[in-house]
Amino acid sequence: MKVSFEWLQEYVDVEASPEEVADLLWMSGTEVERVRRLGSGVSGVVVARVDEVKPHPYADNLRLAIADDGTVRRTVVCGAPNLVEGMKSALAVPGARLPEVSDKELKKATIRGVESEGMFLSASELGLSDDHSGILELQGVTRAGLDIHEVLPLEDVVLDLEITPNRPDCMSMVGIAREVAAVTGSKLRMPDCTVNETGPPTGDLVAVMIDDAGGCPRYSGRAVTGVSIGPSPAWMQRRLLASGLRPINNVVDITNYVLMELGQPLHAFDMDLLSGRTIIVRLSRRGELITTLDGVDRQLDDTSLVIADASRPVALAGIIGGEDSEVGEKTRNILIESAHFDPTSIMLTSRRLGVRTEASGRFEKGSDPGGTLAAADRAAGLMGELAGGDIALGAIDVYPKAVIPVTIDLRPSRVNTVLGTEISKSEMLEILERLAARVEDADVPRITAPSFRPDLQREVDLIEEIARVYGYDRIPGSLPGGGGFDAGLTAEQALEERLVDGLVARGLCQVVPYSFMRPGDLDLLRLPEGDRLRRAVTLMNPLAETGEAMRTTLLPGLLRLALGNANRGNVDLAFFEKGRVFIAKGPEELPEEFDAIGILLCGLVEPAGWSAPGRQADFFDLKGAVEEAALTLGVDDIDFLPADRPYLAPGHSAAVLVDGAEAGVIGQLHPGVAEEFGLVFELYVAELRLAPLMEAAAGTSEYRPVGRFPNVKVDIAVVVDESLEARMVAEVIKASGGDLLLSARLFDVYTGPQIPAGKKSLAYALEFGSAGGTLTDAQAHAELDRVIAALKSRFAAAIRGRDDVRGEGN
Amino acid sequence: MDQGARDKLDSLTAERPEMAVLVEDALALVAGCRTVSELEEARVKLLGKKGTVTTVFKGLFMLSADEKPVVGQIGNLLRGLVEERLGEKGRELSEIQGERLLRSRAVDVTLSGRRRTVGHKHLLSEVAEEITSVFISLGYEVVQGPEVELDYYNFEALNQPPYHPARSLQDTLYIRRKDPFREYPDDILLRTHTSPVQIRVMESRKPPLYVISPGKAYRKDEIDATHSAMFHQVEGFAVGPGINMGHLKGTLEVFVRKLFGSSRKVRFTPHFFPFTEPSAEVYVSCYVCDGEGCGLCRGSGWLEILGCGMIDPNVFEHVGYDPEEYTGFAFGVGVERVAMLKHGIDDMRVFFENDMRFLRQF
């Protein structure tokens, strides 16, 4: 809402500057987006009429206007698309000052070979608004030669206010003036709503009936006869322009002016065009037609509230008027409508028909049922004064369903309990009175909310009013007690943080992709029909760019990020996500949501440097990352078993088991799948559910005494079939080594000429030791012999250096 | 060689100047060596078969019985002294020589260090954790809620009126919606804020409650520099007997100053939210211009940080709390907004593009 500071002062005396007033309003709940000093410092600008428009001889996008500035005719070069013969606009003549354009005087300039003797201005060049879509059109008003200050609100200051939806009353000059008065303590001056009734009795001119009192609890109005349509006076036009409204003619301008002044939407009918001189507020009948002021023919059903005359709807109640009864040049007699409509009814009709107007927006938020008559009187008074009309004798005021004001008990102690203050009862009541509430003082005062405050229904609503006028800044701050035992992270939350820290420590970057996916992504992943990951939750009204389903797997998101990065030249990627995936249950149920970890590696994991050649990511980098992540949680029971997935490369993928339970998969992305995502390099991906890791991590790890005595270290190289999984060998070593075997570390895998074809050599460093004392060589070797015996019997393994394991190369 | 032995040698040679000279020459020879090989030569000259010290012993047979023991003793002491000096000098020279070798193989300390790739948390995670940790230090617990939510928890129980524009298909992403003209509590949608956690927690527990809930939320916003269909919020609330608006102010003043610096000023202005009353917006004095007015704060000197208020009694009624018994406050912080303000980011899209060069900056 744009508030002219000049206009505001008509209703309240303000000693403070516009900026100070803005701050006071802000601190009491009306946010000021901007304080704009309109056209400050503009001079040398006059109203000019465009007599003729000619093409520019050397430029297609420019034209020449022959303009009359009241004294001389000037040729002006102009590029505005809305330049048209006969229009009036603001012309800056040489010597003009335009602070928004330049800090220098305007001079004659030659533009593409033609001298321009001035410059037509847009609203933004005048500093009036941000509109620079064309030159300013000065309608109806003005004769050429007038100084622009006489027709535009230049030098005024406009406060651009953001009104919260609970305060429809603040969508008016009087409403804002009341706020200013409440916070400054000065007095509100209401506009003069008295009328001088010089016309015939209203009842002889028009009859009003309400058929649907639920939709229209009150219909007030005035009839005005003998008006002459013409421009409204300059002061009114200036105020409307400052409010962001375009002046049209005196009658329309007056309805807009009163709308801005009092917040009551008004509609002016040409009374002579009303069939039967009758107004009936009723529900539409199925199939009825109306052409609304926006030029649209509308066929109605039987649910819309309409204003009808004796034969047809003439307006969609509270939304938009009809063309048939529109005020025009020839209109002589006016019916002013000033009604109160049910907010929900207006909203439903407006939504159903897809028409939103200034009036419908206001009625939806709740208009003032108590203010309809005053607004009609105000408009009628102005029409008498400014359009030469005679106001008919007697107001129209059909009020079948009185809106009963709400009375609220206010407990002063409760106010202070909720706010943490010590405000006195008298100060509370004074604040409410300043806001136009009626106060009956008692131990528990009774407060009657004014009719323009539909938001005041409960005691807590009054508490808020008291708080905001008293000043939030005067409420003393303190800290409450806190949650005690419940405070802080749970063990699981702490573990989750540790997991993220662990992955970061491993050198991975955390990513946050969107939680959406395209169902086509699951096809790209080659997931078969019926796969669990196909049970996606889909959006009814998705955004085109993000995809229409909630992801069931983190992989598509990660792959798209890899693509996005690769397209920008980032090809060495190591990232992870901790995020949620969603698996649909029934159509009536919320989906299952669980947290997962996704990892993606590609390109160099170790960059090439002066001391090392750099290394490409492979399966074991990925596996190492997963193992380390588990280890940061204290989970060492983690197994990897060969497992195929349609989106992973065969022979290069594994299921991940944590404590024996499947937690996810890791592997190389299938090259075919990679290609379909537009990725032309090797990628390694993992996806793990968080829950199994968390379960395995729960519990306290128990102390194991560390040996104080030197351990015995022995290396053995075991020659086994090439197809044997290293895990099997490790398991047998571990099982046969007994308590004295502390660790077995695989340090070499060899196939080649040193050993027979079809075999591989796995070299382990075994470490034996005991917390009880130094191990003798004999003890260690007895253990080693047991390990070797077990390996031989289980795998028919040969031990290099002990058995004959020469290959063909020897 | 202990001082006693040295004194003894000095006293024995005092009456034998030729022996005193011998001792001085021998020590000077060792002291004058500059390399390990010179020292080896000196060793031979002194202790070798024809060496000075050896010669002393070899000449003993020519001496009288009186002199023999004296000179013999001088010889022994001298040999001990020379051996000791040779050893000392040897260690000194080999260290010098080792250092010379090291210097000749000096490393170029300006070559880059051998680094491992450093990982980074996402900035939004960092900021959300920073926000959360302030509240943990004030005695809050952390609770998570579902991102796909019932209308009841997202709107209805939070006192959002039916037909509110936020509930429309233009503003909220729906999974299932029963009727285009009415919003039903059992519609399923993507939560538009983290506030539903408030309801879920209150519904299942009794006060006192001090809860913080970071997480994702969704709105039907086309993605541009200042909008995103997905964003992050941290919801917080405290409920108990006697919680008042002063507590809300005190808590958020601490929070804002912890986040933006202890010298920042904090301002509460009245606002409107359906689920709180009284409601407030919280501003921090602009850290660029310190309140003077600049481009970042659009001339106002203040930056909007979060929305908050006292929990509306209607919300309590939905969860079965007696508003006369309990009061509480709630607030919601936009993680992206805080991150953008703190780090001078002017385009929200960078958070979700996840360009490695962006990720590595924080």
- What is the predicted pLDDT for the residue at A810? 43
The whole-number average pLDDT for the span A338-345 is 94
CA-to-CA distance for B279 and B310, rounded, in angstroms? Answer: 6
Predicted local distance difference test score (pLDDT) of residue B180? 62
Question: Do A134 and A80 meet the contact criterion of CB atoms below 8 Å apart?
Answer: yes
B-facing residues of A in 458-477 (CB < 8 A) are: 458, 460-461, 463-464, 467-468, 472-473, 475-477
Cβ within 8 Å, pair B249-A477: yes
* A708 Cβ contact list (under 8 Å, min separation 6): A771
Q: Give DSSP secondary structure letters for A345-371.
A: HHHHHHHHHT---HHHHHHHH---TTS
Show Cβ contacts of residue A68 under 8 Å, excluding neighbours closer than 6 positions. Answer: A48, A49, A51, A144
The band of A190, judged by pLDDT with boundaries at 50, 70 and 90, is very high
User: For B268-321, how does the pLDDT look when each residue is reduced to its tens digit (9 = 90+)?
Assistant: 999 999 999 999 999 999 888 888 888 888 788 899 999 999 999 999 999 999
pLDDT in tens, A601-631: 999 998 888 888 889 999 999 999 999 999 9
Residue with tokens 């006969």: A86
Q: State chain A's maximal CA–CA distance in angstroms.
A: 129
DSSP string, A191-215: --------S-BHHHH-EEEES-TTT
Confidence of residue A141 (pLDDT cuts 50, 70, 90): low
Mean pLDDT of chain A: 92
Q: Is the pLDDT of residue A808 over 60?
A: no
Which of B136, B150, B268 has its CB closest to that of A472? B268
Tokens of B249: 């102010």
Task: Give me the residues of A, 561-620, that contact B with CB < 8 A.
Answer: 561, 564-565, 568, 570, 572-575, 580, 582, 587-588, 590-591, 593, 605-607, 609-612
Q: Confidence class of residue A807 from pLDDT cuts 50, 70 and 90?
A: low
Q: What is the edge-to-edge ordering of all strands in the sheet holding A798-799?
A: A741-750, A759-768, A712-721, A798-799
Nearest-by-Cβ selection for B140 from A352, A477, A483: A483
Q: Which of A489, A541, A548, A604 to mutate to test the interface with B (most CBs of B within 10 A)?
A: A541
Give me the count of residues in chain A: 810
Q: In the prediction, which pLDDT does A596 show?
A: 97
pLDDT of residue B181: 60
**How confident is the model at residue A402, as a pLDDT?**
85
| Other Cβ atoms closer than 10 A to B144 | 15
Extended beta strands in A131-173, E state: 157-162
Q: Which residue has 């996008």 as its token pair?
A: A61
Q: Are B319 and A532 within 8 A, CB to CB?
A: no
For residue A430 the two structure tokens come to 């004074």
Cβ neighbours of A800 (radius 10 Å): 18
Q: How far is B97 from chain A (nearest CA, A)?
A: 28
* Residue B166 DSSP one-character state: G
Alpha-carbon distance of A315 to A405, in angstroms, equals: 29
Query: Cα B279 to chain center, whole Å?
Result: 37
CA angle B342, B344, B346 (to 5 degrees): 125
Residue-wise pLDDT tens digits, A671-704: 999 999 999 999 999 999 999 999 998 776 788 7
Spatial separation of the C-alpha atoms in residues A756 and A42, rounded to whole Å: 98
Task: Measure A199 CA to nearest chain B CA, in Å.
Answer: 44
Residue A801 has pLDDT above 90, yes or no: no
Select the residue from B110, B112, B117 to test the A interface by mutation, using most A Cβ atoms within 10 A. B117
Burial tier of A531 (Cβ tally within 10 Å: 0-12, 13-18, 19+): middle
**A650 φ, ψ (degrees, to nearest 5):** -60, 140
Interatomic CA distance for residues B143 and A490, integer angstroms: 9
The Cβ of residue A82 has, within 10 Å, a number of other Cβ atoms equal to: 14
Residue-level pLDDT at B182: 65
Looking at beta carbons, which residues of chain B come within 8 Å of A348? 163, 181
Q: Note which residues in 484-543 of chain A have CB less than 8 A from chain B.
A: 484, 486-490, 493, 497, 500, 503-516, 537-543
In the predicted structure, residue A804 carries a pLDDT above the cut 80: no
Indicate if the pLDDT at residue B1 is higher than 70: no
A539 CA to chain B: closest CA distance, Å?
5
What would the pLDDT profile of A214-247 be if each residue is shown by its tens digit? 999 999 999 999 999 998 998 998 899 899 888 8
Q: Is the pLDDT of residue A283 over 90?
A: yes
Task: Identify the pLDDT of residue A806.
Answer: 63
Contact assignment for A504 to B150 by CB distance below 8 Å: no
Separation CA A699–CA B169 (nearest Å) = 46
Which residues lie below 8 Å from residue B319, measured CB to CB, with a gap of 6+?
A: B157, B199, B202, B203
- Residue A58 neighbours by CB under 8 Å, 6+ apart: A112, A113, A114
- Distance from chain centroid for Cα A542: 15
Average pLDDT for residues A106-129, to the nearest whole number? 88
Q: Does residue A207 contact residue A278 with C-beta atoms inside 8 Å?
A: yes
**Residue A424 carries which side chain, given as an amino acid letter?**
S
CA distance A737 to chain B (A): 36
Alpha-carbon span A787 to A796, nearest angstrom:
13
Task: Compute the nearest-CA separation of B164 from chain A (Å).
Answer: 10
Q: Is B148 within 8 Å of A488 when comparing Cβ atoms? A: no
Q: Above pLDDT 90, what percent of chain A?
A: 74
Cβ-Cβ contacts under 8 Å, A514 against chain B:
229-230, 352
Encoded amino acid at A65, one letter? A
pLDDT at A809 over 70: no
Q: How distant is the Cα of A484 from the closest Cα of chain B, in angstroms?
A: 6
- Select the residue of B119, B254, B310 nearest A418 (Cβ to Cβ): B310
ipTM > 0.90 for the complex = no
- The per-residue pLDDT for range B147-197, each reduced to its tens digit, is 999 999 999 999 998 778 788 888 999 998 876 666 788 899 999 999 999
Which residues of chain B lie closer than 8 angstroms to A593, CB-CB? 146-148
Q: Which one of A342, A348, A512, A572 makes the best mutation probe of the B interface by having the most chain B beta carbons within 10 Å?
A: A512
